[in-house]
Structure 1
Amino acid sequence: MFGSMQNGASAYAKVGMETGVIAANPHKLIIMLFEGAQIALNNALQQMQAGNIAGKGQAISKAIMIIENGLRASLDKSVGGEIAINLDALYEYMSSRLLLANRNNQPEIIQEVQTLLNDIKSAWEAIAPNSATSTPVTELAGQIQSSSYDALAPNMPRLMKA
């Protein structure tokens, strides 16, 4: 009558993920893409071990889609310069390696790509906006709160100059 518990749990997880995407900043979205690719590759390894060829193919295809349409597509080579160009080449390499892993049923190639993704994700997490600037921002917030500054009040000197 109401559906299975599995469907309910799946719907709940989907809502949680969608809410996380809506609330995330661009930096967090990239981390979520790395996590999604890792989950897909873990699933591919499980399907490979189980001998489920279709499941393995779907999981690897999902990982490739995340790498190509998420991580690679988000690169801005005009702003990112050499780093973006190198990441673009690395993402292309990962995708081609995953195609090979799927075709030849080679879990070690999937593990190689997982290692590469994990290394890039770790570097991305290390440059998180809140990691290096959390203390100064906190101190600035405290200074603003202790003063009579009102962020929502109109800036009168600027308004009077017009």
Structure 2
Amino acid sequence: MTAQTSAYNAYKQNSVTTASPGELTLMLYNGCLKFLNKAKTAIHEKNVQEKNTNLLKSQAIIAELMSTLNMDIEISKQMLPLYEYMNHRLVEANIQNDVTLIEEVEGLVTEFRDTWKEVLRINRQQQYGSGNEAHV
């Protein structure tokens, strides 16, 4: 391991340990999108193991997002079936080697991620005032 790799890994670890819950959720969405993209590439390259690995990672992230829902909040009750649907579609995509199913889930995750980014932006704007809001 090079010093550069070691420094980068330390930075990544520090980013996760110092992130707010909202930022961690954003990281999960981004990670899910990264693994979905890798799974699509693996299907095109006919690399079954790589496809499976990355779809399972995406499913694990969706499971984590599901487990963190606060079911006392109405929106969580609406999101849970969507997460379950996405998980089911990824199982189908894995079995059928179907990029279009992955792209369907990718669209939903992107929409959730973009909405979450906007929520974080608005919260920061309210927290820090309109003059010096932090950018997400």
TM-score by length of 1: 0.74
- After superposition, give the CA deviation of every residue in 1:81-140 in whole Å (9 maximum; x if it has no partner): 2x10111110000000000001001101101101100101111111112144432586xx
Structure 2 residue runs of 5 or longer lacking an equivalent are none
> Could you say which structure has the larger radius of gyration?
1
Structure number with greater CO (CA < 8 Å, separation at least 6) is 2
Residue 69 of structure 2 is matched in structure 1 by 75
Identity %: 25
Runs of 4+ in 1 over 4 A off after TM superposition: none
Displacement of 1:16 after TM fit?
2.4
Matches within 5 A, 1:12-161: 12-68=7-63, 70-78=64-72, 80-81=73-74, 83-128=75-120, 129-135=123-129
- After superposition, give the CA deviation of every residue in 1:24-73 in whole Å (9 maximum; x if it has no partner): 001001000001101110110111111000110000000000110x2111
Structure 1 residue runs of 5 or longer lacking an equivalent are 139-162
Q: How many residues align?
A: 130
> RMSD of the alignment, in Å?
1.9
